Amino acid sequence: MSVGLGVSTFAQVASRIPASGVSDQDTRTRHNCSRSDSLRSGHESDCGREGRFVELFPSADQNITGSHALTMRDPADPNFVMDLKPISSPIEEHNSFAIGIDLYTHAEAGFRAPYINFYKSRGTRSAPTPVTLTGYELDSIGGINFGGYDGASYFAGSAAIYTQSDEDWTPTSHGGHISIYGTNNGPLGHTQQLIQFGGIDPNGRGDGNIISYRPLTFHGNSSSDPGIFPTSNPAKLAVRTADNLGDAALTAKSFQSRSAAFSTLPACDGETEGQMAAINDSSTNIWGTAVSGGGGNHILAYCDGTDWTVAAK
């Protein structure tokens, strides 16, 4: 059976569905006044909204086709509208309150709890085909967008949680990762990936690391807060003030510099001045002299801005 409903009250919703499909027990109201208001700190209480929710459980399938929709409205809340429709946004809800979905599970088994499942396939519903990988962050398997009205339209990507496949899926291979996106302030701000949990990187390496695309700061973004700022080519971590305007102190019980051949060191110049490295093939172990490779001395070298020199042996 197909129904196309556009109604203005919950009573009309119930009246438009055939009586044979809905029993007295099937249509009922609920409210949330028994829940502590502390669960919604800073938001309106749901108390006083008794009877404004209706749950419909028809005993037979009701099909909504074409451009029709099942519309539910609450005369006590002019902003409440819920549409169920068979188009691009199958469920759309508007209301004046801070909560849109409550999920309850009642079971003794500890593993049973409310979950939201997202499932993706290629192909069609009747003939699904496996999820594939065509490129980094190109093959979504689900996500959540957070947005709002900006004065002209609803912007849906200010912050987001996205998931991606990391390989072509088979019955024994299901690689995937989750990423968090955000948007910088200002007119030039655009949505960018902030951090990725597991999966492949932009170069296709799949080592399962947590990949951060932003510096990591602690407590805030001011000059009195510390941060870790990474650079690549060469790979380096800098301990800086969180505003990135100065260096910050780093304290540890001990530091270990793994020994390496002199040829693996970066060139000593103004950019690398102050670096220290353990060398295992120095040609000399005389303090203060310039270091070169090819020898058998294990020394600690210091870059003075021009040369790597012996600092300790």
Q: Which pLDDT tens digit goes with each residue over 243-287?
A: 999 999 999 999 899 999 999 999 999 989 999 999 999 999 999
Q: Is the pLDDT of residue 187 over 70?
A: yes
Please give the sequence-ordered ranges of beta strands (E in DSSP) within 236-307, or none if there are none: 236-241, 276-282, 297-303
Predicted confidence (pLDDT) per residue in 98-146, tens digit: 667 888 899 999 999 999 999 999 999 899 999 999 999 999 999 999 9
pLDDT of residue 97: 74
> Is residue 74 packed enough to be buried (19+ CB in 10 Å), middle (13-18) or exposed (0-12)?
buried
Q: How confident is the model at residue 86 (pLDDT cuts 50, 70, 90)?
A: low
Q: Tell me, what's the pLDDT at 46?
A: 43
Reply yes or no on whether the pLDDT at 221 is more than 90: yes
Answer whether 254's CB lies under 8 Å from 278's CB: no
**What local confidence, expressed as pLDDT, does residue 71 receive?**
77
pLDDT tens-digit readout, 28-59: 333 334 433 333 333 344 444 433 444 444 44
pTM: predicted TM-score of the whole model, two decimal places: 0.69
Burial class (CB in 10 A: 0-12, 13-18, 19+), 76: exposed
The pair of three-digit structure tokens given for residue 145, joined into one six-digit string: 């967008």
The helix or strand, by DSSP H or E, that contains position 16, with its residue range, turns out to be: helix 10-16
CA distance 66 to 76: 30
Q: State how far the Cα of 231 lies from the Cα of 237, in Å rounded to an integer.
A: 6
Whether the predicted pLDDT of 22 surpasses 70: no
- Report helix, strand or coil for 244: coil
pLDDT range class, residue 84, cuts 50, 70, 90: confident
Phi, psi of 16 (to 5 degrees): -85, -20
Task: Retrieve residue 120's tokens.
Answer: 């993706």
pLDDT, the chain, mean: 80
Beta bridge partners of 243: none
3-state SS assignment for residue 120: coil
SS3 call for 19: helix
Q: Determine phi and psi for 3, rounding to 5 degrees.
A: -130, 140
Tell how far CA 15 is from the center of its chain: 43
